[in-house]
Structure 1
Amino acid sequence: MRTLTDQLAQYAAYHRDRRNIATHFVGIPMIVLAVQVLLSRPLLGDVAGVPVTPALLVTALTCAYYLWLDRPLGVLMALLMAAGLALAWPLAAQTAALWLWSGIGLFVLGWVIQFVGHIWEGRKPAFVDDLVGLVIGPLFVVAEIVFALGGRRALHAAIEQRAGPLRSGRQALGTH
């Protein structure tokens, strides 16, 4: 399997325009929450007061993968994903209409924001070539935040070296 650096560098190669990356800070969390909302029905059971749903199972598997790739980022992702579940479960407990509207609405709006970013980028989304990009996207966003805060400098440098330089919006449009 590919390493954390391999996964993030491949994903980053599709995201070199700063505006596209900015759209991912909004769109990806919306999409992740939407999936958690939509998968929070049906209730499969209850373990120690925790509702067992498809959302919990998918989140647990995804977090296990993140932890396998990198323990510190995996722990951070698990905490963020748990927060998403804490928001998703009450929405799923509402009427079917509210549950569907919130889940589908977040999903569609998140993807619209993503596609605007990729129009600016001038490149298709990473998942078109590798479906693993759908799982790496949320990790990419969190890693970018960690990098912006000055963390994981060696990892950031390795990814940037492989992916190439970032472009501002003006550079991306060829209007240096």
Structure 2
Amino acid sequence: MSKLETLLSQYAAYHLDHKNVLTHFVGIPLIVFSIMCLTARLGITVEGFEITIALVLIIASVVYYLRLDKVFGFIMLVIFAAVYPLSLMIAKMSLGAWLGWSVGLFFVGWVIQFIGHFYEKKKPAFMDDVIGLAIGPLFVLAELVFLMGFRKELEQRMLTQARKQRAEMDAKSLQSAHP
């Protein structure tokens, strides 16, 4: 199993309920965008080019995603390139408006995430493994690609492994609840 399949399967083990996955289609983009907005205000200018923390995070994320999968990495690059200018516009607002939008979107995104996990009856994946914070956006992209009918073999391998992992997680929970 590839590193991509392993990471997506681990994440999917916490996201087998369709209502939870649907909430992630809204919550994760809001959270990622809010982080872009928060970090787009901070940076330095080098020879007339503004290098923000958001830009550094985008580059690091895209490099990571490209190493996992060229197609998904490229799609993430396109998405980030399309959204980054909007985050710069928000970052240039007054301090109150910038913080209001950025923190507000962050809060709403997390509320939506936790609503999804209420349906799932599982805590978010990042609570057991912080890499889940980086895999979440990739998972949402993969789910969108699967919904569009592409990469169905990857989807099946991911789901098969995720269901096995979920069964193991549930068995451990039962054992710890009933010693």
Superposition TM-score, scaled by structure 1 size: 0.89
Counterpart of 1:171 in structure 2 is none
Alpha-carbon offset, residue 50 of structure 1: 5.0
Q: Is 1:133 matched with 2:132?
A: yes
Deviation at 1:87, TM superposition (A): 1.2
Match of 1:19 in 2: 19
Secondary structure of residue in 1 paired with 2:50: strand
Deviations 1:23-52 (A, max 9, x none): 0000000000000000011231156x6531
The separation in 1 between residues aligned to 2:46 and 2:77, in whole angstroms, is: 20
Q: C-alpha separation between the residues in 2 aligned to 1:46 and 1:76?
A: 28
**Partner Cα distance (1:90, 1:40) in 2:** 9
CA change 1:105–1:39 in 2 (3 A) is same
- C-alpha distance in 2, partners of 1:120/1:108? 19
Give how far 1:95 is off: 0.6
**Equivalent in the alignment of 1:42:** 42
Moved runs in structure 1, 4+ residues, more than 4 A? none
Secondary structure, counterpart of 2:43 in structure 1: coil
- Counterpart amino acid of residue 87 in structure 2: A
In structure 1, list runs of 5 or more residues that go unmatched. 166-176
Cα 1:46–1:88 change in 2 (3 A) is: farther
1:116 aligns with 2:121: no
Q: Which residue in the other structure is 1:55 paired with?
A: 54
SS at 2:8's partner residue?
helix
- CA distance 1:22–1:50, shift in 2 (3 Å): farther
Amino acid corresponding to residue 127 of structure 1 in structure 2 = F
Counterpart Cα distance in 2 of 1:159 and 1:150: 15
**For residue 97 of structure 1, what is the aligned residue in structure 2?**
96
Post-superposition offset of 1:20: 0.3
User: SS in structure 1 opposite 2:32?
Assistant: helix
Determine the structure 2 residue equivalent to 1:107: 106
* Partner AA of 1:87 in structure 2: L
Q: Determine helix, strand or coil for the equivalent of 1:44.
A: strand
Once the 2 structures are TM-superposed, how far is the Cα of residue 159 of structure 1 from its aligned partner?
Answer: 0.3
Shift of 1:154: 1.4
CA distance in 2, matches of 1:75, 1:81: 10
Q: Which amino acid in structure 2 is aligned with residue 54 of structure 1?
A: I
Q: CA RMSD in A?
A: 1.4
Number of aligned residues: 163
> Once the 2 structures are TM-superposed, how far is the Cα of residue 82 of structure 1 from its aligned partner?
1.7
Name 1:68's counterpart in structure 2.
67
Report how far residue 164 of structure 1 moved: 2.0
TM-score (norm 2): 0.87
Task: Compute the displacement of 1:157 (Å).
Answer: 1.1
Give per-residue Cα distances to partners, 1:86-144, cap 9 Å, x unaligned.
21001101111111001000000000000010011000000000000000000000000
Give, in whole Å, the separation in 1 of the partners of 2:135 and 2:67.
13
Letter in 1 for 2:157: A
CA distance in 1, matches of 2:49, 2:28: 25
